[in-house]
Amino acid sequence: MYSPTDLTDTWHSALTRAVRDVDTLFDRLHLPIEHKEPARRACELFPLMVTESYLARMIAGDWNDPLLRQVLPVGAEFLTQPGFTSDAVDDAAAHRAPGLLQKYTGRVLLIATGACAIHCRYCFRRSYPYGEGTRKLDDWEPALVEIEKDESIQEVILSGGDPLMLTDERLGAMLARLEKIEHLQRIRLHSRLPIVLPNRMTSGLIELLTASRLTPILVVHANHPQEIADDCANVLQKIVRSGVPTLNQSVLLRGVNDSADVLTELSERLVNLGVMPYYLHQLDHVTGTAHFEVDDTTAIAIVSQLRERLPGYAVPQLVRELPGELSKHPLLPQR
Ligand SMILES: *Cc1c(COP(=O)(O)O)cnc(C)c1O
Ligand code: SF4
């Protein structure tokens, strides 16, 4: 039986035990069986995947559980909606080399792997043409050469999928290669694994980051305060205390976190651990996710309430990704 405090468990074995079938999910959480068939069908659009650690933070029998909502395949994913497409953020236009995207000055995004430990139903990834296979270091060479040639690049963002799905060995090799590029100053990781697979954050991994010549910055992804509990809360505190600056980004999701109360509590739990709220993203318009959409007027009203309730540093910036802009587009003026 899974126990969040079982330190002998490795993250690899935790990944192999992730729940990938609808029957197990419905049995474990005592969900109403009439929703099973639509869930099975929606798995054909994007397979179900959820780690035991994340599942353990859900409340059995609660059909509206905010963590369940993020991973449960539903019939609404078959609905089409004008404006929702498969390349909603126009990644094709930002492509500089295989796996290398640049939209903004001074920083590039490297797709380290297409794999994730959890499948979030609202994700752009559901329609992105990733191969799941692990890449060899050589496969990144054209991207690394491109970074090497461009002295205006100070920061490399490892993204995906989830870059922490790579083994420490691979990450170490990648980091060593990046450290040799003299104009690089920072390495940023965008990862949901500290939230959904906390035992991925081994001491070895943290040492890899803190020992680097490059300044590490970790951006995690949690959407609801119920995620910031148990093994996840412990590991966030461990990372922060190791000295790695740690930020959180969330996606505003109808039925999950579209309330000032929920987002206030999320920010409080994060800052109490030393994790700073960074972005609150408006949903990318990806096919099959329209049921998660929160309109801009509601979004702005929610964040305005956060500003009245929280210290300035605890209020995330409400942004939308718009093609062709020089930064993420803020929906509210900075205070
Ligand atoms: C979001 C994003 C970044 C990071 O933007 P910041 O504002 O620096 O967090 C960088 N590159 C791409 C392509 C992005 O989509
Ligand atoms: S890329 Fe992030 S948001 Fe998308 S499925 Fe993977 S973990 Fe979830």
What confidence tens digit (pLDDT) does each residue in 65-79 have? Answer: 999 999 999 999 999
Distance in angstroms (rounded) separating the CA atoms of residues 165 and 113: 7
Angle subtended at Cα 11 by Cα 162 and Cα 40, rounded to the nearest 5 degrees = 65
Residue 3 included in any domain = no
Domain boundary among 34, 52, 78: 78
Residue 99 lies in a domain: yes
Boundary of a domain, candidates 78, 100, 131: 78
How far does the centroid of ligand 1 lie from the alpha carbon of residue 190, in Å?
A: 10
What distance in angstroms lies between residue 73's CA and the mean position of ligand 2's atoms? 14
Looking at the predicted structure, is the pLDDT value of residue 285 above 50?
A: yes
Question: Is the pLDDT reported for residue 51 higher than 80?
Answer: yes
**Could you tell me if 130 and 39 lie in one domain?**
no
Structural domain span for residue 288: 91-330
Residue 161 CA to ligand 2 centre (angstroms): 6
Residue 152 lies in a domain: yes
**Nearest ligand to residue 251 Cα:** 2
**Residues in the chain, overall count:** 335
78, 103, 131 - which closes a domain: 78
Q: Is the per-residue pLDDT at 130 higher than 70?
A: no
126/36: higher pLDDT:
36
Domains held by the chain: number:
2
pLDDT above 90: percentage of residues in the chain = 88
> Is residue 306 included in any domain, yes or no?
yes
Q: Do residues 301 and 190 share a domain?
A: yes
CA end-to-end distance (rounded Å), the chain: 49
Over residues 205-254, the pLDDT tens digits come to 999 999 999 999 999 999 999 999 999 999 999 999 999 999 999 999 99
State the CATH number of the domain containing residue 115. Answer: 3.20.20.70
> Would you call 96 helix, strand, or coil by DSSP?
strand
User: Are residues 74 and 96 both part of a single domain?
Assistant: no
Q: Which helix (H) or strand (E) holds 157?
A: strand 155-160
- Is pTM beyond 0.85? Reply is yes
Taking CA atoms only, the protein residue closest to ligand 1 atom 15 is 103
Which range is least confidently modeled, 25-34, 57-66, 119-128, 147-156? 119-128
pLDDT band at 319 (very low <50, low <70, confident <90, very high): very high
Ranges 134-138, 269-273, 282-286: which has the least confidence: 134-138
User: Looking at the CA of 197, which ligand is closest?
Assistant: 2
Look up residue 293 and give its amino acid: E
Residues 176 and 249 in one domain: yes
pLDDT at 274: 98
Average pLDDT, whole number, for the chain?
Answer: 93
180-205 pLDDT, tens digit each: 999 999 999 999 999 999 999 999 99
Instruction: Give residue 1's pLDDT.
Output: 46
Q: Which residue has the higher pLDDT, 213 or 135?
A: 213
31 shares its domain with 162:
no
**Coil/strand/helix, residue 295:** coil
Q: Residue 288 region, left (φ>0) first, then alpha (ψ -120 to 50), else beta?
A: left
The DSSP call for residue 213 is: S
Q: What is the per-residue DSSP string for 222-290?
A: --SGGGSSHHHHHHHHHHHHTT--EEEEEE--TTTT-SHHHHHHHHHHHHHHTPEEEEEEPPP-BTT-G
pLDDT at 214: 98
Buried b (16+ CB within 10 A) or exposed e, 256-289: bbbebebbbbbbbbbbebebbbbbbbbbbbbbbb
Give pLDDT, residue 47. 96
